[in-house]
Structure 1
Amino acid sequence: MTAAEAATVVTAAAVTDVIVIGGGTGGYSTALRAAALGLDVVLAERDKVGGTCLHRGCIPSKAMLHAAELVDGIAEARERWGVRATLDSVDWPALVATRDDVVSRNHKGVEGHLAEAGVHVVRGSARLTGTRTVRIDGAGGFTARRGIVLATGSRPRTLPGLDHGSPQIVTSDDALFAPGLPGSVLVLGGGAIGVEYASLHRSLGADVTLVEAADRLVPLEDTEVSRHLARGLKKRGIDVQVGARLVDAAVDGDGVRATVRTARGESRTVRAERLLVAVGRVPVTDGLDLAAAGLATDGRGFVAPADWSRLESAVPGIHVVGDLLPPPALGLAHASFAEGLLVAETLAGLRTPPVDYAAVPRVTYSSPQTAAVGLTEAEARQLDHDVVVGTMPLTAVAKGMVHGRGGMVKVVAERNGRVLGVHLVGPNVSEMIAESQLIVGWDAEPSDVAQHIHAHPTLSEAVGETFLGLAGRGLHQR
């Protein structure tokens, strides 16, 4: 059944098993799993299935970050390896075309999966009309036998007083789609999104100023991660300002003129062709009419579950996935997939373990990259764990010397106990975190990991060496 056929069928079927509102990662994963378990599913989406991650976030940004990595490679080849290569220019339309092709093929893939699974996709805005009923614009009312799933996602947080409608002041949702490459950019926000966009623009030739109000970048990560990340970004020529705040900003001709209060209390004027606001995201519940089902958001705009083991709201049968969930949920696409599986299986009557948010990996795809899972050292100590820490620079192993870009491994563990957290900074560490996810998720101890052999020479060898050290068997680092 094609997506169009499914949509036609569902207009005549007012009663279904599950209604999913929102077709992003959390929504479509719920729909796919529920359909695979034999449930009849209606998926309402007012834009395109795939959501922010596929169309405006994760996928297009990582496609462009890959292009940025290739640009950086040319400079490294020339400056470090004697390869007489030069960068002529970046063909922006060609880069955009490749990015859009990646997005388009992924979008068609999701549509195909939904159609093949028999999910009835209905295009239109949906609102709750009761605890089991929904109205979708252009398609009428629907009733869910098993339950309703809220998966309406989030949007970038904006700041009052800024002209967000101007092409010079953009958010992470539209920065990738702004015309051309700016010669300079002021990035406001040093979380994962802001750091990635600062890194991307620097690789593509822009002068970048990165401003973060907290006293360090990626403030939710381990302090050692923040330190190594800031060092790497500064080495690349990014002007990193932590403990700094935007006082004001206004469009000034073809660019932006901003006033920044530095950590030392000094007032500094920053001029840039573009201001990129990356100060977080807020849940989207506009038009959902939660009150019609007896629901309300919390003080931050989230829809909090009454039962985290089922991700079920205070109204039985209404479940929540994705960016609508408050912490400890992480607002990450891969966490949303897990949430969708949990909710679908719950609605099908299966007993499924709850999502273990402590074992969900967190990645920043900048250069250098960061990747982590589990507790930071500070968090572990705050929870009164008797902590031991093992660290190792990536340059202490041969492959790290080959890359020559610094970085480190940090492992936080209980004394004579399990591993609590693993934290990585450096090239390609996003591809190294899966092992540590299993280590933390399965409550392994350093001695359990130390008996397993890591390939030599690899960057992951530094992870193995760190665990060897914690197990009292250190080789190259003691």
Structure 2
Amino acid sequence: MITRMTDTTFDILVIGSGPGGYVTAIRAAQLGFKTAIVEREHLGGICLNWGCIPSKALLRSAEILKHGRGAAEFGLRSGTPEPDLQRIVTRSRTVSKQLNGGVDYLLAKNNIAIIWGEAAIESAPGAGYGEVTVRPPSHSPRQPQHAPPKGVLAAGRYRAKHIIIATGAQPRVLPGLTPDGKRIWTYCEAMVPPELPRSVIVVGSGAIGVEFASIYRTLGANVTLIEALHQILPMEDAEIAQIARRQFQKQGMNILTGVKVVGAEATSTDEVSLTIETLAGDRSTLKAERLISAVGVVANTSGLGLSDLAVALEDGPGYIKVDNVGRTNIPGIYAIGDVAGPPMLAHKAEHQGVICVEAIKGLPVSPLDNTKIPSCIFCHPQIASVGITEAQARKSETEILVGRFPFRANGKAIAIGETEGLVKTVFDANTKRLLGAQLIGGEVTELIGTFAMALEMNATVDNFRHTVFPHPTLSEAIFESALSADMAALHL
């Protein structure tokens, strides 16, 4: 039993309470470890407070607005809906607060001590105990904030047999594109706009960039999406990315690829000017009321004392080097989640943390395979993928079968008005084993889990063929895409 206000020695101390951190702490407690977690800002980390969850609440409001504007297509008469921005933002913050409180409840339920402040590792555990100093937070939490839970441990010195770093990541800043919180935003400011800007430039077309581009375009802003590479969504299958580009442009987005950002300058109290350069060296200027910098994230490693302890980092990106169960090069120190490198996904962090503490306990574990981690992007249309793409398979000189099934041939998609989509599957031609799947369309983020399990189970075309998928559902496109790979699709 932990006495929250007096205990200073633990079996496991987790630094950071994001999805990876708090899930790791819960699993540690379930395994009988006396556990504490250090947090400097808000329980649930960026994901629950400024990332995954509140952004999906905003996207849901945008989606309902889109459906409302298309009500006539479904035989409904109604007035044209208009966004109430402050109510939209308030709802997203309410959702965030609810889950923030839920994390507090789960930590208390599992008798996990919460230490409020910023941690630095003074000494590594080795074969004994390591020491961690926790200082009061050096900055005020982002607004609006959630108050620290009651009964937490104060700043001070703590000891632990095992120290797990789960400090996540923060927005990457490009030279010449430093956010000012007013005209140049990170995702944090973009999450709580005081008013809807008439025009927005989004720099970066990864998951964060296209999600915010979708939100602001649906709400009525003129949106320009900028990408340095020739393909938007550069981590996705090229065919899926091209479908997404066409759909975004159909919605009225201006998309520029293959351009480099030179710099941004606030030209007035309510305008920002962005200078871009093509590969040929031609420069031009774009202007908008707001600019959202969505050019990726960097690991939160500063202030932890890692250099003094000689904890190894990856050259260049600066992520903490770990093995397949989260161990660093220093005994007793571990790292999981974004701080330990890509993929930068909450569900990866959670799974990695569970593996880490189970390995500490001595349980048999299956090391994390990054190729089997699904990715979801909640723009409209949604995008989801798992495994390797067609291009990756061909690069490895694997002989493959590729299946495709468009949503326009799926009865449920036609009925709900979501016909712009595709399920693409990649199989090994010799073993017929699934290698990867890439999807775009309505609710495909709810379908990708089937493919993730299929990859884990080494499913083949025949496994899909002999599985009965319910009708009428979007999931039938999974079945048909697999059949298509074997030249046996029934509805094409």
1:173-212 alignment, distance < 5 Å: 173-212=188-227
1:469 maps onto 2:463 in alignment: no
Alpha-carbon separation, structure 2, partners of 1:457 and 1:242: 38
Q: Select which of 422, 431, 434 maps to 1:408.
A: 422
Partner of 1:21: 15
Instruction: Provide the TM-score with structure 1 as the length reference.
Output: 0.94
Pick from 11, 28, 31 the counterpart of residue 37 of structure 1. 31
Q: Please list the CA deviations of residues 375-429 of structure 1 after superposition, one character each: whole Å capped at 9, or x if unmatched.
A: 0111112222111111121102222323244111110110032110011001111
**Contiguous gaps of at least 5 residues in structure 2:** 125-129, 136-153
Structure 2 residue corresponding to 1:286, chosen from 292, 302, 309: 302
Q: Cα offset for 1:166?
A: 4.3
Partner of 1:444: 459
Question: Residue 401 of structure 2 aligns with which residue?
Answer: 388
After TM superposition, give the deviation of residue 278 of structure 1 in Å: 0.1
Aligned to 2:370: 357
Report the Cα distance in structure 1 between the residues aligned to 2:238 and 2:486, rounded to whole angstroms. Answer: 24
User: How many residues are treated as equivalent by the alignment?
Assistant: 465
- Look up the match of 1:371: 384
What is the rounded CA distance, in whole Å, between the counterparts of 1:404 and 1:369 in structure 2?
A: 11
CA distance in structure 2 between the aligned counterparts of 1:40 and 1:454, rounded to whole angstroms? 45
1:122 corresponds to which residue?
115
CA distance in 2, matches of 1:166, 1:429: 34
Candidates 90, 113, 125, aligned match of 2:106: 113
Task: Tell me: CA distance 1:120–1:416, structure 2 relative to 1, closer, same or farther (3 Å).
Answer: same
Matched, 1:136 2:150: no
**Correspondent of 1:76 among 62, 65, 70:** 70
| In 2: Cα distance, 1:205 partner to 1:194 partner | 17
Deviation at 1:294, TM superposition (A): 2.6
Q: Deviations over 1:151-180 (max 9, x none)?
A: 111000012223422401001122112311
Does 1:331 pair with 2:344? yes
Conserved? CA contact 1:71–1:87, under 8 Å: no
What is the aligned counterpart of 2:320 among 303, 307, 316?
Answer: 303
Question: The residue matched to 1:434 in structure 2 has which SS?
Answer: helix
What is the alpha-carbon distance in structure 1 between the residues aligned to residue 413 and residue 284 of structure 2?
Answer: 38
Cα distance in 2 for partners of 1:139, 1:288 equals: 15
1:427-448 per-position Cα deviation (integer Å, ceiling 9, x unaligned): 1111111111111121111111
Q: Distance in 2 between the 1:263 and 1:161 partners?
A: 18
Residue by residue, what CA displacement relative to the aligned partner does 1:336-385 show, whole Å, maximum 9, x if unpaired? Answer: 11011111212222121111211111011000110011001111122221
How far residue 264 of structure 1 moved from its aligned partner, in angstroms, is 6.9
Looking at structure 2, the residues matched to 93 and 222 of structure 1 have their Cα atoms a distance apart, in angstroms, of 36
SS in 1 for 2:70: helix
Can you give the 5+ residue segments of structure 1 that lack an aligned partner in the other structure?
none
| Alignment match of 2:92 (pick from 83, 90, 99) | 99
1:59 Cα shift?
0.5
For 2:36 and 2:307, the matched residues in 1 are separated by: 22
**How much does 1:217 deviate?**
1.1
Contact 2:175 2:263 in 1 (8 A): no
Match of 1:222 in 2: 237
In the alignment, structure 1 residue 160 sits paired with structure 2 residue 178: no
Range that drifts further, 57-66 or 384-393: 384-393
Please list, as runs of the form range in 1=range in 2, the aligned pairs for 1:217-296 lying within 5 A after superposition.
217-253=232-268, 254-262=270-278, 266-296=282-312
Deviation digits for residues 27-76 of structure 1, max 9, x if unmatched?
Answer: 11110000011110111111111000011100010000000000110122
Partner residue, 1:454: 469
- Of 467-476 and 213-222, the range deviating more from structure 2: 467-476
AA matched with 2:203: L
Q: Distance in 2 between matches of 1:135 and 1:99?
A: 35
Matched with 1:48 is: 42
In the alignment, the residues of structure 2 paired with residue 265 and residue 73 of structure 1 have an alpha-carbon distance, to the nearest angstrom, of 42
Q: Percent identity?
A: 37
The answer (yes or no) to whether the contact 1:11–1:139 under 8 Å persists in 2 is: no
Query: Is the contact between residue 25 and residue 53 of structure 1 (CA under 8 Å) also seen in structure 2?
Result: yes
- One-letter amino acid of the structure 1 residue matched with residue 355 of structure 2: L
